[in-house]
Amino acid sequence: MAEPAPRPLRVVLIEDSPILCAMLRDMLAELDGVEVVADADDEQGALAELEQHQADVAIVDLELRQGSGLGVLSRLKAEPERFGRPRAVVFSNYGHSTVRARCSALGVEHFFDKSFQMDELLDFIQAAVPRH
């Protein structure tokens, strides 16, 4: 009897740019073992999707349509059981050292700069795919 396929890495994408969100969704869909289960463009929507989908990874932009990525990260840190303890990474243009330090304090695993680190983000996600 064949072993069941490993469960895909479940990703929630939190990004306020519809163009970038669609592009990231397409790029992530091309990675083996990765499934984008939801996306959101504001803080409340992001928290609702994270709670509903219990994702493995949350990719968080800091500037959102309403609220902020820092608000999302704060709630993930404050209520890990509610959201299923996803690994959090930031994908943002706001990479000032104080912002990075705050993200780190909120449990962010990695900070990727939108300007030049798209490939690194994709490599990180691919490396996070569960191997069975």
Domains and CATH numbers, the chain: 9-126 (3.40.50.2300)
Instruction: Look up the pTM and report it.
Output: 0.94
pLDDT at 1 over 70: no
How does residue 7 score in pLDDT terms, banded at 50, 70 and 90? Answer: confident
* Cβ contact 12:37 at 8 Å: yes
pLDDT tens sequence across 43-93? 999 999 999 999 999 999 999 999 999 999 999 999 999 999 999 999 999
**Which pLDDT score, from 0 to 100, does residue 131 have?**
62
Reduce the secondary structure of the chain to three states and give it as a string: CCCCCCCCEEEEEECCCHHHHHHHHHHHHCCCCEEEEEEECCHHHHHHHHHHHCCCEEEECCECCCCEHHHHHHHHHHCHHHHCCCEEEEEECCCCHHHHHHHHHCCCCEEEECCCCHHHHHHHHHHHCCCC
Q: Is 86 helix (H, G, I), strand (E, B) or coil?
A: coil
